[in-house]
Amino acid sequence: MTFKNERIDQNVYSQGEVDKWVYSTCGLCSVGCGLYVAVKDDKVVGVKGNGDDPINRGRLGPKGENQWHANNAPDRLKTPMIRNASGELEPASWEDAMQLVVDKAKQSLEEKGRNSVSIYSTGQGFFEDYYTIAKVGRAGLQTHLLDANTRLCTATVEFALLQSFGADGTPASFDDIDEADTLMLFGHNVAESGTVLFERIMERKVRTGKPYIIAVDPRKTLTAREADLHLQLKPGSNLPLMNGLINELIEQDKVDKDFVQAHTVGYEKMKESVKGWTLEKTSESTGIPEDQLKEFYRVMCDTPSLVSTTLQGAFQSAEATKACVAINNFHLIRGLIGKPGCGPLHTAGQPSSSANRTAGGVGTYPAHRNPTNPVHMKEMAQLWNVDQDSLPAGPEKGIEEIITHIEKEEVGFFWNIGTNPLVSLPNRNRIKKALDNVFVVVQDPFLTETSAVADVILPVAMWGEKEGTMENADRTVTISRKAAEPPEGVRSDFEILVDFARRMEFKDRDGQPLVDYSTPEECFEEFKGITKGRPCDMTGITYERLEKLNGMRWPVPDEKSTGTPRLYSDFKFHTKVDDVQVFGKDQFTGRALSKEEFQEIGAEGRAILHETYHLPPFEQPNDQYPMWLTTGRSVWHWHTRTKTARAPMLHMAAPNNYVEIHTEDARELGIVQGEVIRISSPRGEIEVPARIGETVQKGLLFVPFHFGNLEKKESANNLTNDFVDPISKQPTYKQSACKIEKIRNAHEVKADESLEEIASHYGMTAKELRAANNLSAPYEIEMGTTIEVPASVINTPIQPYIPQR
Amino acid sequence: MSYQFEELFADIQKDNRKVLDDIEPFEHPLVVLLRKCLEEQEYMLDRLIEEFEEGKTELKDIKTNCSALFHANQKVNPYFAEWKRATGWIGYKDDTPSEELMKSLEERLDEMQDDLIEIAAKLDEEYGESTTKYFIPTFYLPEERVN
C-alpha cells in the first residue's frame, strides 16, 4: 500500500485563478511523482500534486514544487547561437544553425568516418527523444558513439541487471518497498535524492513500525539518521561488506538451496569468491564494528522479505557493478526475488534515465536488443527497414572512452543534448581541453558552463512545454502533457532531432525517410511496436491509458494489462541466448563475452550468480594527499543547478558550495566553521567554506557536485579522478584522494591589542580566532606574536529540510 | 586461411609476454586488471597459435578465441592509460614505475594493437563484414567499414 492519505502539495504564483491545470509528471528525480501544471496566460505558473497517482498521492518534494520557476527565467535562450570567427557566440537563425550542424556532421563523417560523430545525451528527456536518438544514431549516422549522462548514474544499474538476469529492468518496485520487512538503502540517500519516496517509506514506518531500515553510507545523511541500523563504512568498501554478508549466510547454512538449484547457475564459483570474508576481515576492511556487522547479518539472514535499493553511493564507487551484482547474488541465494516485498531495486537519479536505457539511446539497441547478436540485429534491420550490415554491432562506448577518442582527434562532431559535462564529468580540466578541440553542439534551454566550448547552441523547450513519456526508477512509464507553448524561437529536442534526420536525408531501404513520424505520439507508437515480445513490451500502452491509469510498469503486453509491479515472479530470467540483452562481461576485468562464452555459462532461463573478488579503489589517500574525497547531492539542488539555481527558494536554501569536514579533523587542523579552505588533488583545486560537523567520518571530505562556475574555484569535479568501473564504465566519483590547505593571513600582535579586538577587526569571534590558531588560553597572545587569520569566512547555513511533513 | 596470421599472433605473443614480465613488480589495482587482461590475451594467443600450427584452420576454429583476444585487448589500452594517469598523480604505495618503462610499455601495447588491426583487416577481407562485425570490436576494423 502506498501513502494512506493523499496530501496535495501546491506551489503556484498567479494573479487570480489559473487558466488550466494540465496533467503531467515531475521532471526532476527518478521517483516520477504525478502532478498537474498550472497555466496562466499560456505560461507555466506552478504545480500541484496529483492525489490519484499512487506514487506520491499528491505529495511533491522541494525541487519538484519549485521546478517550474526555471521555465520563466529571464535568461532563457530564445534563439540559436553560432560561434563567430572571433570566438564569440552570436545569435543566429534556426536555418543557419541547423545547416551548420548538418554540414559539420557530414564533414566529420566524410573526413573521419562513421565513428567520428558522437551524441551525448541525457536522463531528463522523453522516450521519444531517446528512441529518435537511437534511430538517428544507429541507423542514420551509423555510429557507435552514443552515450548519455546516464553513464554517471544508471549505467551501473543496467550492467548489474544484465550480468545477473540477462536483461535490464529492476525486479522490485516501490510497491515491494511498501510490503518489505527489511529495506536496505545501499549508497542511497533517498531522503535527499528522492524525497517523496522517503516520505512514503517513513509514513509506513511511523504507522506500522516497518520496514527495518538499514542505511549503508559513509556519511551520516538525513536518511542514515532515520535508519534502524546505519553502517558507516569506509570509502571503497561496499563489496567487502556484501562479501562478508554472503559468506556469513553460507556459513550459517541459510542459503535457499532449492531456489539456488532450480533457478540459478554459478553458485560454487560465487561461493569460492567470498570465502575468507570473515567477520574480523570484513570489519577491518569496512571499518564497521563487529557488533554492528553481527546485527546486520542477523537481520539480513533472517528477514522474511527484503528490498535492497541502490544509488550513487553504489554506482559511483569502486567496484560499482560488482557490489550491485553481489546484492543480486544475495537476493538470489536467499530466494528473495519475484515475491511480494522482495527483490533488488537498483534505482536511478534522473527522471527518465531508465527510459534512455530502454529506448536504446545508450548502450544496447531499442527494447533491450543485443548489439552483438545477429538474430537481434536482423530484427532491428527489419523493424527499421534498413540493411543489417549498416547497423553498428558490438559493445557500447562510454563517455570517458569517447573523450579519449576526441583526444586522439578521431571525433569531429560532438552533440551534447540536455547535459552539462563541464560541470558533471570528473577531472573537468581534461574534459574542457578535449571539448575545446572538437566541433560541439550544445542543446539546452540555458547558457550552461558547457556553452564555453560550444560552436553552436540550440535553445530547447523545457518540461511543461512539450509532450512525451518517461520511465521512472521502478519501470513506471508516465506521460507529461504539454502545458504551455515554449518561448518564441525555441524548439523541442524531438523537433530538432526529427529536423536533423530530414536534413541529413537519412533513408530506409526503400528510399523513404528513415524517421517518418512527426509527433511524439506517432514516435511512441513506432517504439511500442519495437518493444513487442521483448522484456519491456509496451504493446498495451497508449498515451490515453498512461493518463487514465497514472502510469504503468512495463511489461504491458496487451490492452488488458495494467502493468507488472514485479519482475521474475515466475523465476524465469532473460538468460536464454537469443533473449539475453548482451552476452555479459567478465565480472573482474569487464571484458565483453562472446555468444559462445555466454552459452557455456548454461544459464538457459536461470539467473546467473557471479564471482565477486575484491579489488581496492584505484586511488587512495597517501602522505601527500591524506584525505578521502567524496561528492554527492544536496536536497536543495539538482545536478548542475541549471534549473534549481533559477528557483529563488532553492537557490536561497543553498547558495554556495562548501566542504564537509569532520569535527576532529577540523580541530586538529585549526579550521573554523565557515573558513574558506583550499582542497586540492592532483587534478586541481577548489576554495570553499568548511562546514564542520559529524556528517562525514574522520578522514573524509564531502563536496556537493552541483556547483561548477568556470570562473570560481568551486567545482567538485576539479578534484575528482576519472577512473571508471570496469563493467559499467561509470566514473568512480566517490573515491579520490585530496588534501586541505588553510588560506591565512598573518597578523602581528601589537602592544595593548587584545585577541577580542583582533578578532573583531577581522569579523570573527575571539573563540573562532583561538580555534584557528589552536590556542587554549588568552595569555598565549603577546605583543610581537604572529597569529594566523583566515583569509575569508563564509557562513554556509543550509536551510534544514524536514522530510516528513 | 591465406594470410600469415600465425606470424602476427606470434609477434603479439612476444610483446604480450614482455609486457607481462615488465609489469610483474607492480601492485596497483589497475595493474591487477591490466595483468589479468594480458594473461587472457596470452591464453587466447597460445590457443590460436596452436590452432594454426595444427594445419588448415577455419573460422569456426578460431572465432571464439579471436573474439576474446580482441575484446581483452580493448580493455588493455584503457587500463594502461588509467594506470599511466594514476602514476602521474599519486601512484600506489612505493611501486611507481619509471617514465622510460611506461614509454616502452606504451610502445609495445601500441604495436600489439597495430598487429590486431592488421589481423582484423585481413579477417574482414576474408570473411566479410557480416561475419567479422559480430566478433571483432568496431574500432579494430577497417575505417571505411566500421559497422
- Measured between CA atoms, the residue of chain A closest to residue B75 is A591
Would you call A682 an interface residue with chain B, using a CB distance cutoff of 8 Å? yes
- Measured between CA atoms, the residue of chain B closest to residue A370 is B134
Res A751: pLDDT: 87
Residue B88 belongs to domain with CATH number: 1.20.1440
Q: Pull the grid cell for residue A293.
A: 556487522
Q: How far are the Cα atoms of A27, A369, A706 from residue A61, in angstroms, in the given order?
A: 11, 35, 18
CATH no., domain A10-72: 2.20.25.90
- Measured between CA atoms, the residue of chain B closest to residue A595 is B64
Distance from CA of B68 to the nearest CA of A (A): 7
Other CB atoms within 10 A of residue A571 CB: 17
- Measured between CA atoms, the residue of chain B closest to residue A600 is B64
Whole-angstrom distance, CA of residue A229 vs CA of residue A562: 36
Would you call A501 an interface residue with chain B, using a CB distance cutoff of 8 Å? no
- DSSP assignment letter at A724: B
> What is the band of B92 on the pLDDT scale with cuts at 50, 70, 90?
confident
Of B64, B72, B90, the CB nearest to A682: B90
Instruction: Give per-residue pLDDT as tens, A569-605.
Output: 999 999 999 999 999 999 999 999 999 999 999 999 9
> What is the band of B80 on the pLDDT scale with cuts at 50, 70, 90?
very high
Report how many domains make up chain B: 1
Listing DSSP states for A375-443 in one string gives HHHHHHHHHHTS-GGGS--S----HHHHHHHHHTT---EEEEES--HHHHSSSHHHHHHHHTTSEEEEE
Whole-angstrom distance, CA of residue A545 vs CA of residue A729: 37
Distance from CA of A805 to the nearest CA of B (A): 46
The fold of A81-154+355-516 is Rossmann fold (3.40.50)
Strand partners, A369: A365
Mutation target among B79, B138, B140, B141 for the A interface, most CBs of A within 10 A: B138
- Measured between CA atoms, the residue of chain B closest to residue A727 is B75
Instruction: Give per-residue pLDDT as tens, A610-620.
Output: 999 999 999 99
- Measured between CA atoms, the residue of chain A closest to residue B133 is A393
* B22 domain residue, yes or no: yes
Domain ranges in chain A are: 10-72, 81-154+355-516, 171-346+583-608, 627-790
> For residue B139, which phi and psi values (nearest 5 degrees)?
-75, 0
Q: Pull the grid cell for residue A66.
A: 519549485
Sign of CA dihedral A506, A509, A515, A516: positive
Whole-angstrom distance, CA of residue A479 vs CA of residue A250: 45
Query: Model's pTM, two decimal places?
Result: 0.97
* B147 domain residue, yes or no: no
Q: Which of chain A's residues have a Cβ under 8 Å away from the Cβ of B144?
A: 113
Of B86, B139, B146, the CB nearest to A619: B86
- Measured between CA atoms, the residue of chain A closest to residue B142 is A113
Q: Report the candidate in A445, A355, A354 with the shortest Cα–Cα distance to residue A68.
A: A445
- DSSP assignment letter at A91: E
- Measured between CA atoms, the residue of chain B closest to residue A617 is B29
Of A590, A616, A618, the CB nearest to B86: A618
Instruction: Report CA B116 to chain centroid distance, whole Å.
Output: 7
Q: Pull the grid cell for residue A288.
A: 564497521
Whole-angstrom distance, CA of residue A466 vs CA of residue A390: 32
Listing DSSP states for A117-149 in one string gives EEEEE-SSS-HHHHHHHHIIIIIII--S-EEEG
Q: Report the candidate in A296, A315, A321 with the shortest Cα–Cα distance to residue A184.
A: A296
- The C-alpha angle A115, A536, A53, rounded to 5 degrees, equals 120
* B49 domain residue, yes or no: yes
The Cβ-side half-sphere exposure at A445, using a 13 Å CA radius, reads 24
* B131 domain residue, yes or no: yes
pLDDT at B145 exceeding the cut of 60: no
- Enumerate residue ranges in chain A where pLDDT < 50: none
Would you call A466 an interface residue with chain B, using a CB distance cutoff of 8 Å? no
The fold of A627-790 is Barwin-like endoglucanases (2.40.40)
* B146 domain residue, yes or no: no
* B122 domain residue, yes or no: yes
β-bridge pairing A468-471 and A34-40:
unpaired
Other CB atoms within 10 A of residue A698 CB: 13
Would you call A182 an interface residue with chain B, using a CB distance cutoff of 8 Å? no
* B145 domain residue, yes or no: no
Average pLDDT over residues B30-54: 95
Using the beta-carbon criterion (under 8 Å), do B147 and A588 form an inter-chain contact? no
Distance from CA of A140 to the nearest CA of B (A): 12
Matching residue, cell 507553448? A485
Would you call A394 an interface residue with chain B, using a CB distance cutoff of 8 Å? yes
Containing structural domain, residue B133:
5-140
CATH no., domain A171-346+583-608: 3.40.228.10
One-letter identity of residue A31: V
Residues A232 and A265: beta-carbon distance below 8 Å: no
- The C-alpha angle A136, A138, A143, rounded to 5 degrees, equals 105
Q: Which long-range contacts (CB under 8 A, 24 or more apart) does A373-382 make?
A: A373/A577, A373/A578, A373/A580, A373/A583, A373/A595, A373/B134, A374/B134, A375/A578, A376/A578, A380/A138
Distance from CA of A421 to the nearest CA of B (A): 20
Residues 133-152 of A with CB under 8 A from B: 142, 144
Radius of gyration, CA atoms only, chain A: 26
Question: ipTM, 2 decimals?
Answer: 0.96
For chain B, list residues whose CB is within 8 angstroms of any CB belonging to chain A. Answer: 28-30, 32-33, 36-37, 40, 63-64, 67-68, 71-72, 74-75, 78, 81-82, 85-86, 88-92, 129-130, 133-135, 137-139, 143-144, 146-147
Whole-angstrom distance, CA of residue B79 vs CA of residue A34: 44
Whole-angstrom distance, CA of residue B121 vs CA of residue B100: 32
Res B142: pLDDT: 83
Using the beta-carbon criterion (under 8 Å), do B64 and A596 form an inter-chain contact? yes
Name the burial class of residue A19, with classes exposed (0-12), middle (13-18) and buried (19+) by CB atoms within 10 angstroms of its CB: middle
| Number of alpha helices (DSSP H) and beta strands (DSSP E) in chain A | 28, 29
Distance from CA of B59 to the nearest CA of A (A): 14
Distance from CA of A448 to the nearest CA of B (A): 28
One-letter identity of residue A370: N
Average pLDDT over residues B123-133: 90
Of B74, B129, B135, the CB nearest to A389: B129
Using the beta-carbon criterion (under 8 Å), do B137 and A394 form an inter-chain contact? yes
Res A14: pLDDT: 86
Distance from CA of A312 to the nearest CA of B (A): 22
Using the beta-carbon criterion (under 8 Å), do A389 and B130 form an inter-chain contact? yes
Q: How far are the Cα atoms of A11, A16, A37, A40, A707 from residue A43, in angstroms, in the given order?
A: 14, 14, 10, 5, 29
